[in-house]
Amino acid sequence: MNSFQYASPTDLDTAIGLLDSKPGEAEILAGGTDLVTSLKQGLTSPKRLVSLKAIPNLKGIGRNQNKGMEAISIGAMTPLSDILEHAEIRKGYPSIIQAIEGIGSPQIINMGTIGGDLCQRPRCWYYRQGFGLLGQQDGKSLIPDGDNRYHAIFGNDGPAYFVSASLLGPPLVALGAVLEIAGAGSKTRQIPVADFFRVPHSAQEREIFLLPNEVLTQIHIPAQPRPNATYEVRQRQGLDWPLVTASVALPAKGTNGKAEIVLGHVAPTPWRVPKAAAILDGKTPDKELAAKAADAAAEGAKPLSNNAYKVRLVKTAVKRAILAATGNA
Instruction: Compute mean pLDDT per 10 residues along the chain, 329 residues long, and list them.
Output: 90 94 90 91 92 96 87 97 97 96 90 96 94 94 96 95 97 97 92 97 92 96 93 81 96 86 98 97 93 98 98 98 89
Separation CA 72–CA 327 (nearest Å): 23
Contacts of 11 (CB under 8 A, 6+ apart): 55
Helix (H, G, I), strand (E, B) or coil at 65: strand
| Phi and psi angles of residue 107, each rounded to the nearest 5 degrees, phi first | -65, -45
159, 142 Cβ separation under 8 angstroms: no
What's the fold here for domain 5-325?
3.30.465
Cis, bond preceding 212 (omega within 30 deg of 0): no
Distance of CA 14 to the CA centre of its chain: 27
Residue 277 DSSP class: H
Sign of the four-CA dihedral 83, 37, 198, 296 = negative
- In angstroms, the Cα distances linking 73 to 214, 216, 266 are 19, 13, 28
Separation CA 255–CA 129 (nearest Å): 49
Separation CA 2–CA 184 (nearest Å): 27
Separation CA 206–CA 199 (nearest Å): 8
173, 260 Cβ separation under 8 angstroms: yes
Strand pairing partners for 112? none
Predicted local confidence at residue 66, as pLDDT: 81
118, 193 Cβ separation under 8 angstroms: yes
Per DSSP bridges, beta strands 188-192 and 228-233 are unpaired
Element (DSSP H or E) covering residue 71: strand 69-75
